[in-house]
Amino acid sequence: MTATKHDRNAWFKGGIANCQVTLAPGARTYRMVLLGAPGVGKGTQAELISERLGPCQLSTGDVFRAAKTLDPSERTPALSAALDYMKRGELVPDETVIGIVRERPNCLRCPGGFLLDGFPRTVHQAEALESILGVLSMKLDAVLSYDLPIDQIVSRLSGRRTCGACKAVYHVTTKPPKVADVCDLCGGKLILREDDRPEAIRVRMEAYEKSTSPLADYYRQRGLLVSIAAEGSPEDIYKRTAAALAARP
């Protein structure tokens, strides 16, 4: 394993907080972005890559969730602005998200490297990231794009069942409960959420493709996009990822 410790306190708090990561002698530092539609297993791959290759997983979603628990005095200006948008039920605009990343230069300088998840989401954000890294005399090594046919994504997501009581999540084929439609943990009834119905999933996938296609093209034109088939077990997918990274100069 490349990194001995993944302390993401600096990512959650921003400001002058520092990451506590050391790099093994001779290990390669990776600075990457993750792309992939819901259901492709991107989160699992992020964990495997972080554990085995060293880069810290930096998810903007994690920042937003952690911000809600921080004392207001610990929130950076961009983070406070983002929470205000979220409280009103509005999307956090590009400039605010960019500001949150810009407030965290020590995370981007991490000697273990980084794995950005959830940012950038637009070409404008990608251009801003390139500018931020340029100021730090850094550049991306790769943009990992996990791809899976939409029918397989629908199959994966529509098989999810959620406990109506404790919210535990199961899957009819990959993680079934001991008793059909009954939660192992609390005995509550398992339900199919509206978001997990096939028709709802297809709508989300179409929206994802429409919004992400320009971003993928942006990175493809720069020779950074690495497309990886997200079929098979998590270990199979990780092996493809590692091989693709090893093949890059």
Which residue in the list 121, 197, 202, 220 is annotated as catalytic? 121
Q: Does domain 9-148+205-247 have CATH number 3.40.50.280?
A: no
What pLDDT score was predicted for residue 76? 80
* pLDDT computed for residue 1 by the predictor: 40
Please confirm, yes or no, whether 104 is among the known catalytic residues.
no
Q: Identify whether 193 is a catalytic site residue.
A: yes
Mean pLDDT by 10 residues, the chain (249 residues): 52 63 73 93 91 89 83 82 88 91 88 91 96 96 96 91 95 93 96 94 90 95 97 95 93
Q: In what order do the strands lie in the sheet with 113-117?
A: 56-59, 113-117, 30-36, 142-147, 225-229
Distance CA 204, CA 57 (A): 24
- Helix, strand or coil for residue 80? helix
**Catalytic residue selected from 68, 193, 239, 248:** 193
Please tell me the predicted confidence (pLDDT) of residue 3: 41
Residue 31's DSSP bridge partners are 114
* Residue 102 among the catalytic residues: no
Q: What are phi and psi for residue 121, nearest 5 degrees?
A: -115, -15
Q: First-to-last CA distance in the chain?
A: 21
* Each residue's pLDDT tens digit, 138-158: 999 999 999 999 999 998 899
Give start-end residues of each CATH 3.40.50.300 domain in the chain: 9-148+205-247
At residue 161, what is the residue type?
A: R
Q: 106-139 in b/e burial notation, b at 16+ Cβ within 10 A?
A: bbbebebbbbbbbbbebebbbebbeebeeeeebe
pLDDT number for residue 2: 40
Asked if 105 contacts 76 with a C-beta cutoff of 8 angstroms, the reply is no
Q: How far is CA 201 from CA 96, 140, 147, in A?
A: 28, 31, 16
- Strands 190-191, 113-117: pairing is unpaired
Alpha-carbon gap, residue 36 to 49, rounded angstroms:
15
Which one of the listed residues 52, 109, 202, 204 is annotated catalytic? 204
DSSP 112-152: TEEEEES---SHHHHHHHHHHHHHTT---SEEEEEE--HHH
pLDDT of residue 22: 63
Using one digit for the tens of pLDDT, what is the confidence trace for 99-143? 999 988 888 988 889 999 999 999 999 999 999 999 999 999 999
Known catalytic membership, residue 248: no
> Is 52 part of the annotated catalytic residue set?
no
